[in-house]
Amino acid sequence: MEQRKHYRAHVEYAASFSGPSLRGQGTILNLSVIGCKARSSFAVNKDDFLGVLIDVPRYQHPLYVSHAVVRWSHEQEFGVEFIQMELVDQQRLCDLVRALKATRWSRPTNGESDTL
């Protein structure tokens, strides 16, 4: 069983990525307070540096990560670690992940209540 230090919420948020040699759109597939898993139609490489805009439907303005690094890449999916973001966006991200986690644990599945 894989043990993670930070909760990852499964999401499907539109995102924009930009870097020295790329600019394009993609989808955030899961999100944590320290990074995300994404899918795009363009190739990224391990250790690429990116800026990321995450369009969260409940937010008027997207979350902005000014500096992120690609930690792994496989075909059209890749993992990104958030290196630097403004304090206000960092707080919004923490609030969002906390709310997503609370929603997940409060929602019964298959007619049963969650006991965790």
Specify the 3-state DSSP secondary structure of 42: coil
* Domain boundaries, position 37: 9-106
For residues 80 and 45, what is the distance between their CA atoms, to the nearest angstrom? Answer: 11
Six-digit token pair at 83? 């290196």
pLDDT tens digit string along 7-20?
899 999 999 999 98
- What's the total number of domains in the chain? 1
The overall longest dimension of the chain from CA atoms, in Å, is 49
Structural domain contains residue 26: yes
Six-digit token pair at 8? 């990852």
Query: Higher pLDDT residue, 33 or 43?
Result: 33
CATH number of the domain where residue 34 is located: 2.40.10.220
pLDDT tens digit string along 58-112?
899 999 999 999 999 999 999 999 999 999 999 999 999 999 998 876 555 444 4
